[in-house]
Structure 1
Amino acid sequence: MMPRSIAVPAPRRARSAFAGADVCDIAGLRLAAGARRVIFDQDRWRMELADAHRQISPYELDWDFAEILNPAWRVVTKEILLGLLAPQHEAMVQCPYAPRTVRSPRTCYRYLVYLTLWFNYLTSCGIHCLSEVTQEMCARHLEEQFWSAPSLGLPRWRLEPESVTIVVRTVQVVALYAELLSTDTYQAGFVPWNGRPAAAVVGAKPRGENAVPPVPDQLLQPLLATCLYLAEVVGLRLAEVVEARRTHEAARVMGPVARIADVPRLQALCEEFRERAEPLPKVAANQIARNADRPDHSLRPLAWGHLVSLVGFRKIADTAKPHLAPALLEVAEDVGFAGAWAREAPSIPRYGDDEPVPWTAPLTADDLRTAVGNMMTACAVVTSALSGMRSSELLELEVGCRNPARTVTGGGRRFRLSGKVIKNKRFGGAPDEWVVVEQVDRAIALAERLVGRPRGTALFGNVDLTVRVRTLRAWLERTGLRAHWGLPVIPGGPCGSRMLRRTLALSIAQRPGGLLAAKVALKHISVATTEGYTARPGGSQRLFHAEVEAADEKEHLELTVQAFRDAQAGIMPAGPGARGLIDAFAHIDAELKDAARTDPKILSDDRHLENLLRKLAKTLHVGPANFCWFRDPSKALCLRLAGTPDAKRPLVGMCDSARCPQATHHPCHRPVWAGQAQTIDVFITSRRIAKGEKQRLVPERDRALRVVAEIDAATPVPAERS
């Protein structure tokens, strides 16, 4: 918690506690092999870290303190950031208010950005010493940061309060490290905004429920249907073509360059195209447009590289092209041009009606790359939507992350992915395993085939799913493939990985026991986090109490039914409230007999009996040695003794069931009372108990024996006596 004021700090250090130190060594960050050390005194820290996760951008590990105009405040910023990275350093002992939680380099970079804004703002105001800072300056800086950055042709708008809490924390953090700073600090005792929490300063309201909206059904259903179809039907055909092209290109790079002497061989190849009536290989439409200024207009669509590779050449020399052009022009007039790949596309079942259709028209190399990119989008959407992975966890999936499927009891199979959990873990993340459905396993297998990368490299290079889905939607419509494959129209709208994760959380939590299942599936650190995701803040406590109340109600009903069955068998209740309970049972028994005249099944139907006894069971409160039938609060002895006659529940701990007119004793209570009498007898016969105390215990024993006798008298069946 931010202090309201800070005691007068000790005199500032003459030299920084970190001067000359290795930053990464102090912070416990591992440098990559061959990386240069980062020294505290440098004005630029370029950290090449071995454990950097894939979500962190290179610029977030390149800290340029020279952007801070005041040199003294550069040192202040370095000391604060290193204090955030290494809160357990011995120099931090003197900072009682500094946070003790290790911050990641990514978080510290955000502090660097906003400290730079704050300090340069002070410089622009003519402030050269932090002791001159006032609350008014802090408020003016915050108001400035509340507005968006200027943009050409657009008015500035006011930001949401949650987005500027970092501004308040950054201004306040200088006060927390006053004892550590060596070059400058605030005046003694000054804490911006009097130490109020950042959220309270900016007016941010706490949200019990996660603010990320789920993906609407009208978008989710066609999107998932499309992506599953692409990943499980179209993708397999595409992967075959991609692997064939990969093999072709690997052989092509080993070939020589076709020169003038090789033209006859290439002319023979052209004749083969004519004989087979096969179109010449074509380049993508954008490449045709780029070649518009070339003199050989008729050959602009020709994919020269692919053509010559068919006879083992890597490429054709420009000097050889004019010698081959006449033959190519003649062939082109007869056969035309078409994409070089997937020319004999096998059929696949259309979505919805299973009508066989060719999976694609011939593809150029660029068309193939575009198709692969969109197929990777489909795989990423399926993985995100059906596993609930965060974007950081999707980025950590690597080629080879699929573990062998395990057969489980009952004949099913369990599919697992190895990856990392980044959030709330040490820097770089912690290895973890995801249990996924088979569709996700197949999507990952397809993605591995499509990228063709070595094992251990990143599988998904970009997981901005909203942008990628927009591109996928446009590709399906532009190429006509959506209609060709019979796929549903994907409406517009955002559908990022956070929204898909939230949608899955809501779906799981709506099932019995789903809250805990969602916590496990989404790898949350606490159920409270899951409650926020599932729109049920406070849900675990509410569910717990609801389950307890349901269990109590069930048990009380079973006890009431058992007491009624005992009364039917002649085993009557005892105690002051026995008469009232027997009358209630007699009334219910009469109702059962009346119902039996019209429906003989009623006599053997426990459900009908439970319905008749349910109201009575709701008044039952179980004590340690009695049942309390709390039907009339005015008659409750415990409430009269406590002076709370209007209470809604009895005070079971104050119950004197031997005198309360609503208490009953049953055979199950006999061992308790008999045991009490035996225990008191032990004390009465003991020589170590004072005579006066023995006299006080005699009435207690007599009362216990009287209750035992009443229970025995109400039970006609002989029982073993204590």
Structure 2
Amino acid sequence: MTCPAEALDVVAGIDIAPGTEVLLNRTLYVEGVRSRFGDPVWDLSAAIEDRHSAGQAVHWKGFPPAFRHACKLYLFALLNIVDDAPRLDSARSTYPHIKTILGELVPLRRYTTWLTDAGVTSFGQVSTEHLDDYLRHVTETNGDSAGTKRCALQAIMRLHLYRETLPAQCRLPAGPLWGGASARGLAHYESSWGKPNTTPRIHPDVMEPLLSAAIAVTQTVAVDLLPAARNLLAMRHLAHQIAPAIRRAPTRTVSVFETTKAQLECLLAALDRNDASLPGIRTGGVTSVDLMGLAVGGWMHHTELKRMNETPVMLATSGLPIDVDMLRANTFSTIGTHSWRDEPVDARELVGLLRHVTVACFLVIAYLSGVRTGEALNLRRGCISRDPKLELTFMSGQQLKAHDGRRERSPATIPWVVTDETAHAVTVLEQITVSDLLFPAFAMCSQNRFAFGATRTRTPGSINTDITRFIDWFNHEVAPVVSHPPIPGDPHGSIQVPRLRRTLAWHIVRRPGGTIAGATQYGHLHTQMIHGYAGGADSGFHDDITFEKFLHRAETIHDDSQRLERGEHVSGPAAEEYRARIARASTFAGLTVTTKSQINDALSNPDLQIHHGAVVTCVFRRATAACLEPADSSAEPFWSRCRLGCVNAARTDRDAASLRLHVTALQRDLAALELPEPLRQRIQVRLIEHRKALAEHELIRPMTTPQQDEDNE
């Protein structure tokens, strides 16, 4: 007698069995990770393109047993229905991405737990009354944000939307859910989509020494450590490859002595096969094996290695040559005028210092390129290229938040244009990583890093923690030795990586002439960036720049208005228009900005077109701007072609004070330098123009009170 075959559930036209793969219809980016329907944990990392995301697995043990199978079927539908998938009204993609799915699993688990507590054991038993009760439960819960409530409701809406794709016992009641209202409306959630970036900037007094420290570490400290670091990682890689089973076993289950001895035997044999050397140390003219280096590089217990009587015998019997300081750093370069270190760095300390080097490289790359956090973390070996004809350096990588048409193109065709400091930081990382990813997850020399470093990157949270540690290390160990300014605490708290991008936009707008490193300035950096992806609409960086321009313009005009009220004198052809625009622009004082379009409209308003230069203020009007050619369509003055006689020019008391300093400097040059006659004549003509402008400024100054004179100083 034969038993009838067990009926299988069918989802997306697929018969579901315990051995069915759960990622059948998704693009996979990692080989070897294949979870199956019957597994207690579903690893979805293979379907996630960017490798820095945390929480890439679903642990089914946390779901109520009564709903576990139904939730598995629902998740299988979310993963594998990619053609004509059911879509929420607010959806911006044709089917839910893996991150979206993972983000809704916690609300789904909470919902099924709530149903279980209510005595419901399947989705098919859920009534409209249950749904209304849950709506009240979510919306009336104290302590949850509107965003959390929206996510909780949206997870149920998606489950309801997929009801026709699921077996009958997994379906919520038919008909409009909660009257057809949106999750956003029910939760009273105000979306931040389309609004300016409100991420707090890093204070310039913090960012400047932080960037200086990061560049010093990547260009000096890292160079001193790299020879020993390469040797250490090579030996550690070999040690993981040849480790016997006892070394891979949990330490609580095996003998430390037996583990260390077995690992040493395997390592010595492997070093001999590879014609490699033992790490050495020289003390008082005597050369011996560097046991600390051997323990760290060979993945062994240092104390046990020193204690074992077998260690010297096994080392002598191996006959391997000894390479002095192979895993140690003894020579240190200067930062400024002082060496950054005096004491040797052994292998154990080297591992910790390499972590600081890694975070320094991240700071340089993420800040000076303007890339998003995830884009920096997903960079891979070989991402830097140079074009000798254009004299530009490119950095290619995965670009997040780009539309599908752009993402389909090769990243090599739409790179970021970066500085030499950024390219050097990438080069450093390429020498201390064991996989293609420049920021692999897990500890520096851990077994997991060598095994899984090619598929997982560091998370933003771990980088944030390391930045705090980097600042503490640099302030205590390096800054006092080399007389580098310490990195102070930031008014907004610890440094979080998303703040770097916003801070770069602020510096580009507020301090275009500020020196970053060498001859590089923020204005030059911005010019470079707009040639590549960072200057495109997809990168989002233009939005940050635009918002910073608006804030800067509004703050400047507010300051101008206060100075006029205190009696600041203004002269020049555009003086009256300057005063009129300041008066009209006061209407922006109470403006609440909620969208990017509002910012763009405000920036194009003629009343906000007041630009302060070094010695003159431009009340900009394109039709009469002497700095622009007829074919120019610029919406701002071209300062390098500024003409003092331009009808758009106005001069405040601040400009006059700067102009006097400039006149003094020109006079000093004429008296002290042996200048060619044509240059001397040009300076003399310029001095005549400047003195005339200063005389006119004072000539039409109205009578002022002593208090006004004091305010204008």
Normalised TM-score (structure 2): 0.56
Distance 2:361 2:317 in 1: 32
Q: Is residue 386 of structure 1 aligned with residue 379 of structure 2?
A: no
The Cα offsets for residues 326-352 of structure 1, whole Å up to 9 and x where unpaired, read as: xxxxxxxxxxxx998556414x233xx
Counterpart among 461, 469, 472 of residue 471 in structure 1 = 469
For 2:498, the equivalent position in structure 1 comes to 498
Counterpart among 173, 178, 185 of residue 158 in structure 2 = 173
Q: Offset of 1:384 from its aligned partner?
A: 0.9
Q: Offset of 1:385 from its aligned partner?
A: 0.9
Counterpart among 507, 513, 521 of residue 534 in structure 2 = 521
For 1:60, the equivalent position in structure 2 comes to 56
The Cα offsets for residues 455-485 of structure 1, whole Å up to 9 and x where unpaired, read as: 567567425332111222333355x333223
CA contact (8 A) 1:237 1:359 kept: no
Counterpart among 130, 133, 138 of residue 136 in structure 1 = 133
Q: Secondary structure at the match of 1:419?
A: coil
Unaligned stretches of 5+ in structure 1? 1-13, 147-157, 259-265, 316-337, 559-604, 612-722
The Cα offsets for residues 637-676 of structure 1, whole Å up to 9 and x where unpaired, read as: xxxxxxxxxxxxxxxxxxxxxxxxxxxxxxxxxxxxxxxx
- What is the 5 A alignment of 1:522-671? 524-525=537-538, 530=543, 534=547, 537-538=596-597, 539-544=599-604, 546=606, 554-555=622-623
CA contact (8 A) 2:231 2:326 kept: no
Q: Is residue 235 of structure 1 aligned with residue 230 of structure 2?
A: no
For 2:384, the equivalent position in structure 1 comes to 402
Which residue identity is paired with 1:170?
A
CA contact (8 A) 1:383 1:443 kept: yes
Q: Offset of 1:123 from its aligned partner?
A: 1.4
Q: Offset of 1:124 from its aligned partner?
A: 0.7
Distance 2:541 2:330 in 1: 55
Q: Offset of 1:187 from its aligned partner?
A: 3.8
For 2:3, the equivalent position in structure 1 comes to none
Distance 1:29 1:423, change over 3 A: same
For 1:349, the equivalent position in structure 2 comes to 334
Distance 1:65 1:503, change over 3 A: same
For 2:425, the equivalent position in structure 1 comes to 443
Distance 2:210 2:152 in 1: 39
For 1:20, the equivalent position in structure 2 comes to 15
Distance 1:532 1:43, change over 3 A: farther
Distance 1:66 1:555, change over 3 A: closer
Distance 1:305 1:192, change over 3 A: farther
Distance 1:225 1:213, change over 3 A: same
Q: Offset of 1:27 from its aligned partner?
A: 3.5
CA contact (8 A) 2:387 2:393 kept: yes
Distance 1:313 1:442, change over 3 A: same
CA contact (8 A) 1:210 1:533 kept: no
Q: Secondary structure at the match of 2:15?
A: coil
Which residue identity is paired with 1:362?
P
- What is the 5 A alignment of 1:245-394? 245=232, 255=268, 273-274=283-284, 276=285, 281=290, 283=292, 308=315, 312-313=319-320, 342=328, 344-346=330-332, 348-350=333-335, 354-357=336-339, 359-394=341-376
The Cα offsets for residues 89-118 of structure 1, whole Å up to 9 and x where unpaired, read as: 4x759x999886222112112222211211
Q: Is residue 123 of structure 1 aligned with residue 116 of structure 2?
A: yes
CA contact (8 A) 1:242 1:368 kept: yes
Distance 1:248 1:360, change over 3 A: farther
CA contact (8 A) 2:64 2:116 kept: no
Which residue identity is paired with 1:20?
D
Distance 1:309 1:428 in 2: 61
Distance 1:31 1:196, change over 3 A: closer
Normalised TM-score (structure 1): 0.55
Distance 2:116 2:471 in 1: 50
Distance 1:552 1:444, change over 3 A: closer
Counterpart among 195, 207, 221 of residue 208 in structure 2 = 221
Q: Which has the larger radius of gyration?
A: 1
- What is the 5 A alignment of 1:29-178? 29-30=27-28, 33=31, 36=34, 38=36, 45-47=42-44, 49=46, 52-57=49-54, 59-62=55-58, 64=60, 67-71=63-67, 74-75=69-70, 78-79=73-74, 82-83=77-78, 86-89=81-84, 92=86, 101-128=94-121, 129-131=125-127, 132-144=129-141, 158-178=143-163
CA contact (8 A) 1:81 1:108 kept: no
Which residue identity is paired with 1:88?
D
CA contact (8 A) 1:385 1:501 kept: yes
CA contact (8 A) 2:475 2:487 kept: no
The Cα offsets for residues 540-594 of structure 1, whole Å up to 9 and x where unpaired, read as: 3444565999999544899xxxxxxxxxxxxxxxxxxxxxxxxxxxxxxxxxxxx
For 2:482, the equivalent position in structure 1 comes to 485
Q: Secondary structure at the match of 1:20?
A: strand
Q: Offset of 1:355 from its aligned partner?
A: 2.1
Unaligned stretches of 5+ in structure 2? 1-8, 240-263, 272-277, 442-456, 513-522, 551-595, 611-618, 627-643, 651-713
Q: Offset of 1:436 from its aligned partner?
A: 0.8
For 1:687, the equivalent position in structure 2 comes to none
Distance 1:533 1:68 in 2: 49
Counterpart among 180, 187, 202 of residue 201 in structure 1 = 187
CA contact (8 A) 2:196 2:543 kept: no
Distance 1:534 1:557, change over 3 A: closer
Q: Offset of 1:25 from its aligned partner?
A: 6.7
CA contact (8 A) 2:384 2:396 kept: yes
Which residue identity is paired with 1:126?
G
The Cα offsets for residues 484-522 of structure 1, whole Å up to 9 and x where unpaired, read as: 233322234422221101212333455699799499416
Distance 2:156 2:73 in 1: 15
Distance 1:369 1:396, change over 3 A: same
For 1:664, the equivalent position in structure 2 comes to none
Q: Offset of 1:383 from its aligned partner?
A: 0.6
Distance 1:80 1:398, change over 3 A: closer
Q: Is residue 415 of structure 1 aligned with residue 396 of structure 2?
A: no
Q: Offset of 1:313 from its aligned partner?
A: 4.4
Q: Secondary structure at the match of 2:397?
A: strand
For 1:711, the equivalent position in structure 2 comes to none
Distance 1:87 1:471, change over 3 A: same
Distance 2:498 2:605 in 1: 31
Question: How many equivalent residue pairs?
Answer: 486
CA contact (8 A) 2:620 2:648 kept: no
Which residue identity is paired with 1:214?
R
For 1:615, the equivalent position in structure 2 comes to none
Distance 1:83 1:100, change over 3 A: farther
For 2:177, the equivalent position in structure 1 comes to 191
